Amino acid sequence: MFTALAVFVADLLANGLKLVTDRPRPYVANPDQDPLTTAALELSFPSGHAATAFAGATALYRFLPHRAVPLYLLAAAIAWSRVYVGVHYPSDVLVGAALGVATTLLLLLAIRRLSPRVPRAG
């Protein structure tokens, strides 16, 4: 449940930032480019795929710390694929990755602060 929440919030934040920054995708800014795919939303910054992949990896890491390397390698591969197919700049995926990690860490902090404290016996 927490992983789904982190991914959802990261996606919302990434899409909100896209609307604020209004950065066109590489193939829109340079029509001579031939991307392997296109996207419905022609805005690039930050990468929503990178944000959600890293949010998910960070959330899962909390429960599966022994799987950190494969989780973050998968998230990095997802992020890099967005540059490879021509729909993002490297800075888009770097900021998206940071946004995903930060979103999850802030959600964890908020949950800890909002959860009721159990008094210690003794």
pLDDT per position as a tens digit, 12-25: 999 999 999 999 88
pLDDT band at 27 (very low <50, low <70, confident <90, very high): confident
* Nearest-angstrom CA–CA distance, 39 and 62: 32
Residue % of the chain over a pLDDT of 90 = 69
- pLDDT over threshold 80, residue 89: yes
Is 118's pLDDT higher than 70? no
Cα separation, 45 vs 89, in Å, equals: 8
- Report the distance separating Cα 22 and Cα 43, nearest Å: 6
Query: 48-83: per-residue pLDDT in tens?
Result: 999 999 999 999 998 899 999 999 999 999 999 999
List the domains of the chain with CATH numbers: 2-28+45-112 (1.20.144.10)
**∠ CA(82), CA(88), CA(92), 5° rounding?**
105
The answer to whether the predicted template modeling score (pTM) of the entire model surpasses 0.95 is no
